[in-house]
Amino acid sequence: MDRLLYGAAYYDEYMPYERLAEDVAMMKKAGINTVRIAESTWSTCEPQEGVFDFSHVERVMDAMEEAGIHVIIGTPTYAVPTWMIKSYPDVLAETVKGRGIYGPRQIMDITHPVYLFYAERVIRELMKRTAHRKCVIGFQLDNETKYYGTAGKNVQEQFVKYLRKKFHDDLDALNAEFGFDYWSNRINAWEDFPDVRGTINGSFGAEFEKFQRTLVDRFLQWQADIVNEYRREDQFITHNFDLDWRGYSFGVQTDVNHFHAAKCVTVAGVDIYHPSQDELTGREIAFGGDVTRSLKQGNYLVMETEAQGFPCWTPYPGQLRLQAFSHLASGADSVMYWHWHSLHNACETYWKGVLSHDFLENAVYREVCTIGHDFARLSDHLVHLKKKNEVAILVSNEALTSLKWFGIQATAGSNESIQYNDVVRWLYDALYEMNIECDILWPESEDLSQYRVIFVPALYAAPDELLLRLKQYAADGGTLVATFKSGFANENIKVSTELQPRILSECMGICYQEFTFPKNVGLTGPVASDHAGAEAFMELLEVQGAKVLAAYDHYMWGEYAAVTENLYGKGRGIYIGCMTDQETLKKLIRHVMDGAGIPVLQESWPIIIRKGENTSGKTVRYYLNYSGKEQNAWYSHEDGTELLTGNKVLQGSRLTLPPWGFQIIESE
């Protein structure tokens, strides 16, 4: 993998007529050097139990090998064949809604022994036919794996064993920690354990979801162990992690702890989809890239992204090229489309690929050709981009799950609630628009000291050890920025009896006892914008040594602080007690960066600037224009070369970025 990978998922078995040779020729013309195959078609590879037919896989490998195109093999385990369910219907996952009905993908119980038996067999048969092939450069485990809500008897029996180990067989400790005396939920014998699916106890329900996430870790590791028996040392293992979905890739994944699950792969992979046309902002590309790059602290693979996708995503001219290079700007070593051709049947008929239903060259294909040739020409300059950021955001699956159970009502009288990812993206999007690049941390991340600033959004449920580490980070000289609802409960969502935000109170120099929903509440103070307001949820902060950066502008709440700053040890603690407007948040971020000695660029969105160091040790800066209007930026760094044109760029030069255009400058 010393070159940028550029390609698409390719499904020869879906084609309405024979056209493999023609597709290969079009790929070669476009500069596509990689295809991903096999992960979707278990029923084609094993049409009946024990009867294998890998002819589609083998003929595609033959064609790609002859053409010099790399192949990534996906294990075909995320959609089960009809014969399996006919013989073993209980392979279908039993969820809170009952047992599933065959039809959709990803409806099986990934712990079921029958499913695992057949999955192992088909993986091994596939590996025997592919691992030795010259064209095969790596393997993708399954596809966007999650636990699919599986909660049947076998899963719950495993959960009880998990709890017995966690609480050392002490039922009294479990009852006390989860608060089971409430509504007579107390469990007095392990044999009396109730069906978890009916629980109204957030601590219990969230713990079960945490356990369900571990099923994904085990499942992917199990697949990786099988693949490792066959793969060559020069072949990688990846997985295409996906993000929280809100009609597009949005936030931290609810059903998978990516940090844990990624331990079994040699290189992290991700699927990133996003709005397009006038809604194209680059935020989702950057967020998904920063999350995935941070999983293994290195370059990653974009396994899927859109070419055309939904009809509303059909890109404007130039947008596909902008998107492709934006992935590289975050540290990606590949851009791969889902998928090469548009389907003529089934539920994704109108999720369009590079080619439309007519298979003819089109505007998207012609732009793909441009990108492919650019990638080939510039690969030595852009591959393996290394990034060293001074800012990080700490995310937590446990906090995410806890706030799913205890959602924060947004405003008085509103039925809307703030979810964890709303707070994460509120912070991340502001940093992104200010061109402050960041890494993503998890509670288990070890070296906090490498960052000058760490943002902690809504860390509602957290063990004491994590809060103490964050507190020590500030004492040692870091700047810790925490938002409302941080440190409120322990890892079992048991609310603390201490003054909030308990362990962080000393570091932040504040405490609070009350919180409410804002109604006609403004903000006033050094970081408040001209029309600042508390937009959602508010904690009534009482100052205990901290400096007030913003107070509530309200005839009854005016005595309370909204945003504070406290000197603590060698560092600082900054606490945000409410969700503010974006302008106020950005003023606060600028204040934070000034205090941490981190310069903030004058350019902001729609001009996005991202940088890294290439394999030659030179700094590469991407200037990306996420708008339909021409934009100008100043190049204030050492002289360099604009890589797309080869033109020299002098320090102090004015850069002109066309609509949806960009420049890439390599410093000399």
Q: How far apart, in whole angstroms, are the C-alpha atoms of residue 280 and residue 292? A: 20
pLDDT tens by residue, 607-654: 999 999 999 999 999 999 999 999 999 999 999 999 999 999 999 999
Q: Considering only CA atoms, which of 69, 51, 53 is closest in space to residue 10?
A: 69
* pLDDT tens profile 451-469: 999 999 999 999 999 999 9
Burial of 155 (0-12, 13-18, 19+ CB in 10 A): buried
Q: What share of the chain is helix, strand, coil (3-state, %, to 5)?
A: 35, 25, 40
Q: Which residues pair with 334 in a beta bridge?
A: 5
Q: Please tell me whether the overall predicted TM-score, pTM, comes out greater than 0.75 for this model.
A: yes
Kindly list the distances between the CA atom of residue 536 and the CA atoms of 332, 386, 521, 543, 639, in Å, as whole numbers in the listed order. 35, 37, 10, 21, 46
Residue 300's contacts (CB-CB under 8 Å, 6 or more residues apart) are 267, 268, 269, 270, 289, 292, 293, 331, 332, 333
Mean pLDDT of 168-186: 95
Please state the separation of Cα 468 from the chain's center in Å: 26
Instruction: Tell me the average pLDDT across 40-66.
Output: 96
State the Cα–Cα distance between residues 256 and 452, nearest whole angstrom.
29
Over residues 234-251, the mean pLDDT reads: 97
Confirm if 400 and 459 have CB atoms less than 8 A apart.
Answer: no
In angstroms, the CA 298 to CA 269 distance is 11
pLDDT band, very low/low/confident/very high, at 412 (cuts 50, 70, 90): low
| Confidence band of 410 (pLDDT split at 50, 70, 90) | low
- Per-position DSSP letters for 198-237, written without gaps between them: G---HHHHHHHHHHHHHHHHHHHHHHHHHHHTT--TT-EE
**pLDDT cut 90: percent of the chain above it:** 96
According to DSSP, residue 512 is labeled: B
What are the tens digits of pLDDT across the range 331-367?
Answer: 999 999 999 999 999 889 999 999 999 999 999 999 9
- Neighbour tally for 10: CB within 10 Å: 27
Structure tokens at 350: 């109108």
Mean confidence (pLDDT) of the chain: 96
Distance CA 379, CA 388 (A): 21
Average pLDDT of the segment spanning 357-378: 97
Name the helix (H) or strand (E) containing 166: helix 153-166
Neighbours of 184 (CB within 10 A): 6
pLDDT digits (tens, 9 = 90+) for 100-151: 999 899 999 999 999 999 999 999 999 999 999 999 999 999 999 999 999 9
Quote the tokens at residue 328.
Answer: 């590289």
Q: How does pLDDT run across 220-236, given as a tens digit for each residue?
A: 999 999 999 999 999 99
Of residues 60, 239, 59, the one with CA closest to residue 141: 239
The answer to whether 342 touches 309, Cβ cutoff 8 Å, is no
E runs forming strands in 17-131: 34-37, 70-74, 94-95, 98-99
What's the distance, Cα to Cα, between the start and end of the chain in Å?
Answer: 25
Beta strands in 229-352 (DSSP E): 236-238, 240-241, 244-245, 249-251, 269-272, 300-305, 332-337
Amino acid (1-letter code) at residue 58: E
- Rounded Cα gap, residues 382 and 642, in angstroms: 12
If one counts every other C-beta atom within 10 angstroms of the C-beta of residue 66, the result is: 11
- C-alpha to C-alpha distance for 21 and 247, rounded to whole angstroms: 35
Cα distance between residue 51 and residue 43, in whole Å: 10
* Closest alpha carbon to 212 in 141, 143, 150, 144: 150
Query: Tell me, what's the pLDDT at 506?
Result: 96
pLDDT value for 536: 87
* Residue 327, pLDDT score: 98
**Is the per-residue pLDDT at 415 higher than 70?**
no
Give the residue from 10, 266, 220 showing the smallest Cα distance to 111: 220
DSSP string, 170-200: -HHHHHHHHTTTGGG----SGGGPPPGGG--
pLDDT of 575-597, one tens digit each?
999 999 999 999 999 999 999 99
b/e 242-281 (16+ beta carbons within 10 angstroms → b): bbbeeebbbbbbbbbbbbbbbebbebbbbbbbbbbeeebb
Q: Is 64 buried (19+), middle (13-18) or exposed (0-12) by CB count in 10 A? A: buried
Percent of the chain residues topping a pLDDT of 70: 99
